[in-house]
Structure 1
C-alpha cells in the first residue's frame, strides 16, 4: 500500500472515531449579554417566544436554577414518570449540572461566583442559571458571560442549552446532557478565573473537562480528527470560520497534559491566568510547567508530538494515551526515498509529518534550519511503524544537529516529524532530507550505517545495530526521553550504555513485541 495513503484513508473513513460538530456556533459563542437573557424579547437567539410561559426549578444541590417552557419550539420533553409535576428531562438537567459542579470542585477548580450582585437580570436569585431553548441544530449549548467582578477576572454569566436534542444523534438524553453540562459549565469555570484565554485554550480545556468528567463520553474522540488532520497548524493562533473546529480538536493537547502531568497542571494554568491577566495561555502554561512540574512548554509539546504517533490502529496499551485507540490517527504527507525538501516550514507549537516506505535496514533523516535561524526548540522524530503498531521512535532535540535514524527492516513505513516546541514566534524554514541504507542523499550527509551484523537472538535473524551515538535517542511512543534537572529544565536522558547498545536492546525487545488487543 502506498506510503502516506493509509493514514489519509483512515482519517476520511473515521478510523472508528465518531463525528462531532462544535457545540457553540460562532454567532453566539462568548457574547456578553447586553441584549438580555433569553427571557427578554431583545435577547439574541436562541430565546423564548413572547407567548412562552417560562418556569424554573432549583437543582437538588441548590446550586442551579433550570428554566424551561412546555410550549412552542422551545418546549422540553414533557414525560413525567414520577408524576411530581416537573418534566423528567428538566430534573435530569438539574441533577447532571450538580454532578458536574461537584466533580470540578473536587479537582480543585473554583466555581462561578454568585450572580445576584449583577446589575442585570439574575434569573430570580444568585444561583447559576441554565436556560433550555431550541438551538434548531445550530450548535447545542453556549455560556454567555455577563459581568466581571474584579476588572477582567472573576466573571459570571449563564448557560443556554438545547431543549430536547431532537435530531442531534446523541445515544440518549442522559449522554447529551452530560456532554453539554460538562463542556459548557467548564466555560463558566474558566470565566470564574479569566474568560479571554482564546478559542484554543477555551474550547480545548472544555473538551478535556468533558473527557475527565466521564471518559465514556465520545466528545474528545470525535474532535481529535480536527487536530490530527492538521498537526502543522499552530496551537498559538486561534482559527476562525470553518477552521474553528480545530479549537475543539486541540482538546487532545490538554488531554495529553492531564495524562502526563495530572489535573493540577490545568488548575495551575487557570490560576496563573489571574496572576498574569495580560499573558497568553502558552506562556502561562510554560510558567506553570517550569515552576511546578520541572518541565517546559517545549519539552511537553515534543512529547505530545511523540504520543500522537500512537493513536487509532497504532495505539499500544501501556504507551502514550490511555485510550489512544479511540483517537484519530495523525495525518502524514507521502514522500519517496530518498527525498530532499529544500524549504520545509514548521510553525511554532506545530509539527510537519512525512511518511516514507519502510523495509530498509535503516532510514535516517536530517533537518537543517535555514542559515541564521535559531535552532532552539526544534525536534526531529523518526519512527518505524506498521499499520497497527509503533515499533520504535528515535528523537533528537535542538539546538544540537537534528540528525536521527531508526532501524526499519521490520517496518512497513517510517514517519518523520519536524517539531517546533516554542510557545511563541513565527514559523521557521529548513531543509529536510530522508534516505534509507545505501542511498545517496543529495542534501546533508546522513551517515547511514551499513546493515551491520544480524542479531542471532532475534526470531527473524535480528535487527541491525542502530548505529552510533549521534543517531538520536530511542524512546517509547509514550515515554519522555528527557528528565528534569534540578533547575527545572530538561536534558537528554543518558546513562552508562552507549546510544548504539541502548538502541540494539530496544530493537530486540520491540522486535518480539506483538500488539495486544485494543482496550
Structure 2
C-alpha cells in the first residue's frame, strides 16, 4: 500500500522552487503520458464536482469498474472518488489550511482550475501526488489506483477514502512547502486521512514498522522500501495534536512556509507553549510504549490497537547510546522509593519515568528525570536533538530527592480538540554545547538535587542498602 509522493521527473527542480518559470508535468491524458501512465488510445471521460475533477479511461488497463447506478451514467467508483476528494478538501479548508491553487498556468491542466485526480492501474503503488510550481504558487494533481483489486483494502470504497484523502493532503502540503521531509509529509498525510475518516484502518496497519524501531531517529528512515516506517511516523503528529491541539500541525506548516524545516518549527512552537522538542520527545516514547497490552491512561485514545514497543529490563548502571531523535524503554520494579537519574549530556538525552498501576501505564503521572519512583515503572530515555553522533547515557539509582526537586511532565493529552496541554514546568535545551556533560542548572532545586545525586553516585557515598532492581529497601 505505497502512496508515492515524489515530485517526479518534471518537477525535480521545484525545491529550488516557486520561481517564475513553470514546472508542468505531463498527464495520463497527454500523448506520452506520465512516467508510463498513459491512457493511450482509450476513450477518456471525466466527472467534476465543485473542487475536484476525476479523469478515467473507459477501456484498457487503466479503466475503473464502470458499473453505474446513477441517472447520469457516471461509474459509481468514479463518482465515489470525486465525492471523497470533495469531502477531504472541504475538511482541510475547515481546518484552516490553504486551498490548492489553480493549475491553469500549465497547458495540460485537466480543462479547468479544479484539483485533478487521474485513475490509473498502478504497478506497485496505489497513489502519487505531482506538484507543479509556477511563479510562487504550487498546484498539484494526483494519480490514484483505479480499482483497488488485490490491494489489501476491504473494498474499492475503503481504498478511495484512504488514498484520495492521503494524496490530497499532499496537495495541500505542497502549497506550503513542496518536497518536505518524508517522515513529516507522509506522517501528516496519514494523520489527516485518519482525522477525516476515523473508521479507516490504514493508520494502524502502518504502525508496526515504526514501533519496531524506537532506536532509529525519527528523521532517518531506513533505506529501501520505507513506506511502512514513514506512514507509521503518523503517530508523531497525532501525539502533537493530542497534546497541543490539532491546529498545532497547521502552525508547523505555516512556519515551514517561511522556510523552516519541520523539526525546528515544532521546537519553536513548543517553546512558545512553555515546552520544547527536548521536553516532548521522551514522553512521545512513553506514549508509544503505553500501547497494546499495557495500553495506558492519558495517551492515545486507540492505544490498545497499537502494536507496542519492546521494553528492556531496568537496572541501576544500565548504559546505551542514542543517535538523533530515538529512544530506549525499560521496565522494572523497585522494592522501595528511589531517585532515578541519568548520567549523560543533557543537551543530547532526556528521560521520563512513568508508573504502572494494575499493569497499565499512567501517563498523566509521568515525571522528568531525575525523579523519585517506587514500585513498577517505565523509564524512557530519548535522544532529544537531530544530531546523529553517539550520545551515551547511564541510568542511576540513588536516595530519594526532596519533593520540591521533582518536575511533573504533565504527560497526558490536552483536554479537548484545540486545547493546549498545560505548559511543562521547566524546559530542556535542544541545542548542543560541544559535547560536554551537562545537567540542570544548580540554581534550581531540581538542578541542585540532581548534581548532589550524581555526586553521591560518583563518590560512592550512597548508603549500604542493595540498589539492585527489585531488592532496594527503604531506610
Query: What's the counterpart of residue 197 of structure 2?
Result: 214
Q: Is 1:406 aligned to residue 368 of structure 2?
A: no
What SS class does the counterpart of residue 135 from structure 2 fall into? strand
Q: Is 1:322 aligned to residue 301 of structure 2?
A: yes
Query: What's the counterpart of residue 310 of structure 2?
Result: 331
Task: Name the CA distance, whole Å, in 1 between partners of 2:424 and 2:358.
Answer: 34
Query: What's the counterpart of residue 324 of structure 2?
Result: 348
Q: Is 1:417 aligned to residue 380 of structure 2?
A: yes
Query: What's the counterpart of residue 133 of structure 1?
Result: 120
Task: Name the CA distance, whole Å, in 1 between partners of 2:321 and 2:429.
Answer: 27
What SS class does the counterpart of residue 284 from structure 2 fall into? helix
What SS class does the counterpart of residue 419 from structure 1 fall into? strand
Number of residue equivalences: 420
Give the drift of 1:167. 0.6
Kept in 2, the 8 Å contact 1:390–1:477? The answer is no
Task: Name the CA distance, whole Å, in 2 between partners of 1:101 and 1:128.
Answer: 9
- Cα deviation 1:130-158 (Å, max 9, x = unaligned): 0000013x1111101122431xxx31121
Query: What's the counterpart of residue 290 of structure 1?
Result: 271
Determine which of 72, 84, 102 is the counterpart of 1:114: 102
Kept in 1, the 8 Å contact 2:5–2:130? The answer is no
Task: Name the CA distance, whole Å, in 1 between partners of 2:353 and 2:48.
Answer: 56
Query: What's the counterpart of residue 390 of structure 1?
Result: 361
Q: How does 1:426-505 map to 2 (within 5 A)?
A: 426-433=388-395, 446-447=397-398, 468-469=402-403, 472-473=406-407, 478=412, 483=423
Task: Name the CA distance, whole Å, in 2 between partners of 1:142 and 1:474.
Answer: 44
Task: Name the CA distance, whole Å, in 2 between partners of 1:155 and 1:301.
Answer: 32
Structure 1 pair 313–484 and aligned structure 2 pair: CA distance change class (3 A): closer
- Cα deviation 1:323-377 (Å, max 9, x = unaligned): 2222221233x33x746344x2112322122344x373457644212xxx4x136
Structure 1 pair 245–95 and aligned structure 2 pair: CA distance change class (3 A): same
Query: What's the counterpart of residue 17 of structure 2?
Result: none
What SS class does the counterpart of residue 423 from structure 2 fall into? strand
- Cα deviation 1:293-337 (Å, max 9, x = unaligned): 3432222323322322322232245x11222222221233x33x7
Task: Name the CA distance, whole Å, in 2 between partners of 1:366 and 1:29.
Answer: 51
Structure 2 gaps of 5+ residues are 13-22, 415-420, 431-439, 447-475
- Cα deviation 1:392-425 (Å, max 9, x = unaligned): 787564xxxx5445222xx4xx432212223x32
Task: Name the CA distance, whole Å, in 2 between partners of 1:396 and 1:74.
Answer: 55
Query: What's the counterpart of residue 12 of structure 1?
Result: none
Kept in 1, the 8 Å contact 2:287–2:363? The answer is no
Task: Name the CA distance, whole Å, in 1 between partners of 2:372 and 2:213.
Answer: 25
Task: Name the CA distance, whole Å, in 2 between partners of 1:79 and 1:249.
Answer: 35
What SS class does the counterpart of residue 380 from structure 1 fall into? strand
Query: What's the counterpart of residue 50 of structure 1?
Result: 40
Task: Name the CA distance, whole Å, in 2 between partners of 1:66 and 1:260.
Answer: 37
Structure 1 pair 131–205 and aligned structure 2 pair: CA distance change class (3 A): same
- Cα deviation 1:29-59 (Å, max 9, x = unaligned): 9965866112234334451342321111112
What SS class does the counterpart of residue 126 from structure 1 fall into? coil
Query: What's the counterpart of residue 515 of structure 1?
Result: none
Structure 1 pair 473–287 and aligned structure 2 pair: CA distance change class (3 A): closer
Structure 1 pair 383–93 and aligned structure 2 pair: CA distance change class (3 A): same
Farther off after superposition, 126-135 or 31-40: 31-40
Query: What's the counterpart of residue 178 of structure 2?
Result: 195
Q: Is 1:367 aligned to residue 342 of structure 2?
A: yes
Give the drift of 1:64. 1.4
Task: Name the CA distance, whole Å, in 2 between partners of 1:116 and 1:25.
Answer: 22
TM-score normalized by the length of structure 1: 0.72
Kept in 1, the 8 Å contact 2:170–2:189? The answer is yes
Farther off after superposition, 86-95 or 262-271: 262-271
In angstroms, what is the RMSD of aligned CA positions?
3.5
Task: Name the CA distance, whole Å, in 1 between partners of 2:387 and 2:132.
Answer: 33
Kept in 2, the 8 Å contact 1:321–1:478? The answer is no
- Cα deviation 1:209-246 (Å, max 9, x = unaligned): 01111211122222222221112211233444134432
Structure 1 gaps of 5+ residues are 1-20, 434-443, 450-466, 496-519
Query: What's the counterpart of residue 381 of structure 1?
Result: 352
